[in-house]
Chain A
Amino acid sequence: MTALGEFALWIALPIAFWGMVMGFVGGYHKRGELVLSGERSVHVVFILLVLASLGIINAFLTDQFQYWYVAGYSNRDLDTYFKISGLWAGQRGSLVFWAVLVAFFASITVFQNRNRNREFMPYVVGVLQGILGFFLVVLLFAKVNPFEQLGFVPADGQGLNPQLQNYWMTIHPPVLYLGFTAFTIPFAFAMAALLSGRLDSRWIVLTRRWTLLSWFFLTNGVIFGMRWAYEELGWGGYWFWDPVENASLLPWLTATAFLHSVMIQENRGMLKVWNMSLVLLTFLLTIFATFLTRSGLIESVHTFAQNTSIAFIFLVFMGSLFVAAVILIVYRLPALRSENQIESFVSREAAFLLNNLVLLGAAFAILWGTMFPLVSEAFTGQSIAVGPPFFNRVNLPIGLVLLALTGIGPVIAWRRATGRNLTRNFAMPLGVGAAVSIAFISLGVRDGYVLATFGLSAFVLAIVAVEFWKGTQARARIEGEGYATAFIHLVGRNRRRWGGYIVHVGIVLIFTAFAGRAFEVEVRKALNPGETVSVASPFGHVYTLIYEGISSSREQNFDRWVALMTVERNGSPVGSMSTERRFYRVNRQMVTEVGIRSTPMEDLYVILADVEDFDGIVANDPDAQRIVVQVMVNPLVPWIWYGGVIITIGSLIALWPAAEVVRRRRVLAVEEESPEALAGAASA
């Protein structure tokens, strides 16, 4: 099986390039049989890549340590699901994983469009197969072949890094990769639009679902990464402005911008060049994210090994794509002219544009800060680093502006908002926001950013609540329905808008959670059994942890020392929690597992900072029980995860196709409404 997988990888390469040539040539010369051959090659490459992936997984499951990759990321006693996730545990396998996901989406796209959008498809096929060809070239020629063999068969593998032996490790990379790779489809259609000359908003409407799907996965992927860092890196934080974290955030920022700016092109025929550029930029950033992670260009907590031939190939690829796309855009500039212009700074167009500019500004700042050590070293010979203070300083104001826009955008009028429109829609929510800020001032909060965040969050929530209320009310009145029915129909008729509002609520929760960091509390103490440590939550109550004792045991893959604590809240027992240290025997590495007790408003977070006498505990020496702990209260952190759930709900609503779309396939994918049977006049 594994050998077959390796063979599949080799024959996928020429077939991918064949498909690329067939797509472009067939499309340009209008040769339908070439195009069909190209489309078939898309499916074939997908099957081959699936075989390659299965080959790798099979090698892991059957402990085939003669493969460099398997030996490096697995051992006999490793849990089965970590063996399976070995496919994306390391650089080589994850490249195959990336490719198979792109091929999967490509195959779906070709199948979905076998009778539709035919003017685009040959070029879509060409672009997608070209991209797959690139990844195959990297895999087979840049010394990163996952099927490379050692030349001997080790008795056991090196095992998986203990910090990767965590539930989130099996979820975070795949979801993030789904986000990155799904964006290849909108990019392919954008290039197809440029190549075929069909430059109206059609390509945007066609790819809207893909963009949203990609964004959905990217958002969840980033949030899962935060969860993983929070649980596994064990410092009480969830974001460190680490270069690899930043690299995954960059395409998210531009994808969010794109998600919004397409609405301007759809509604007002503006920003066509802008949207083309954004798609290109986002796609390049997804490739860049993988490039940064895989090439070890910037040192970071995440970084994989250095490999300069990969760096070269990636740079050439990204560079050529960029040049080709720019040439195409310039060539098509006449057809990309805006149909309208921005009439007023106070309008929905302007709000969306500001949203875009600010998101791109953040992306630029983060990119600059991440690359700064390299750039400064190249120019001055001296490496200069910037850390979290820089990123926070730049992004906090940007975050506030974005938060405000989240409330302004949905409600401000198109074209030109009059004073009437503004007072009507913003007076009350502004009042709510101000009231909330004042309330927090009276509670003693003085931090400007925190006050602004809480106030703006309230402002946005008020706006969304009023939108839902008024919309339901209007519909109930107009259609004569009950409020519950009206609400369901309201959302069902315009899923993109109302799903989007729900997503905004989730974003607000997350931003509010970020503000909670200003109120973190931390206490450190050494404890013997029976002793206690107390920490006061900013919400007023006091947690007391009673150290019961520490025990040791031997598990399949590691030895562990577990410290048990009883938790009291304001004096009454509410449960227990544990924190532990693990020694992974094969990797010879010590890992701390923190203890987290979540309540809706905060997390109680305990780190086993030190154990005095590991061996004494194993020997059951009663005097060896002294430990050192760091106890934290992290207010509002659970709201990040809640926000993620709400974002998921909103995204799913926005993504969900209306049942009638299937039937009304011949009309555009502007599938927001359920059709009524009768015809009516459009205008009076």
Chain B
Amino acid sequence: MKNDNGINKIQKTVMGVLMNFILIVFSLSCIFPIVWMIYSSLKEKRAFNADIIGLPKAPTLVNYTRILTNSDYHLAESMFNSVRTTFLSIVLIVLFSFIVGYILARVRFKLNRVLYVMFLMGMLIPIHSLLVPIYVVFRNCGLSNKWFTLLLPYVSFGLPMGIFLVEGYVKGIPVSLEEAAAIDGSSFSNTLWKIILPICKPILVTVAIIQIFSCWNEFSFALVLLKDVSLQTVPLALTQFKGQFASDYPKQMAAMLITMSPIVVLYFVFSKQIIKGMVAGAVKG
């Protein structure tokens, strides 16, 4: 009996070490690119080209000073554009996803399922096939090359995923809750905003997180619909570090680290909510 316990203990320890080792390797594989970016941004272009992985022999901040002192790079402007576009897109996506998702889940009307499927179809259409038609429509309507231009495609293409998640989540909420509210005299909008909205908070956070990343990183629409350099978003501004025949990777990495900072700040400030939302999304979505 004692011997069995000993073997179990050894098995547990070995398993624990093995599992931890695997997890540590996975964690390192996630963290390493960022660490690599940080120390590579401290190298000069030639030092980086000569040794891509190695640590910098003569660390320098020259990439940062070049980026921050050259107005041609307009990184601050592009960050502002990205923050504005992402923030407004998320507000609209979350708001519309919640309302539409709730109505599709709860209100019975004739074309309910048809409408739902039509929204979901938005997830199936490859964006690149729509670039030229959307450009033509935007140009003819005078909507291209404006500060709000990107809001329209971002919200439109963000809605299918949002509606899909909210609809599924609302279906999981017992109808009796709304019935009880109705018996107590709560109006439709009161029930929607004061009772259902707080319950849906985890899924809405999930929607917001997914869409923040997709809007912040979106490239194709930003490239095609915006001509004015002063309206460029971060992913577009970062392309300028790549030339026709050569790329300045350390400078690109320094720029990426600078432009990543708002998202990192956002993550640390809302990390609790984000983890909660991710988990809620994983279970309910």
A binds B: no
Interface residues of B (CB under 8 A from A): none
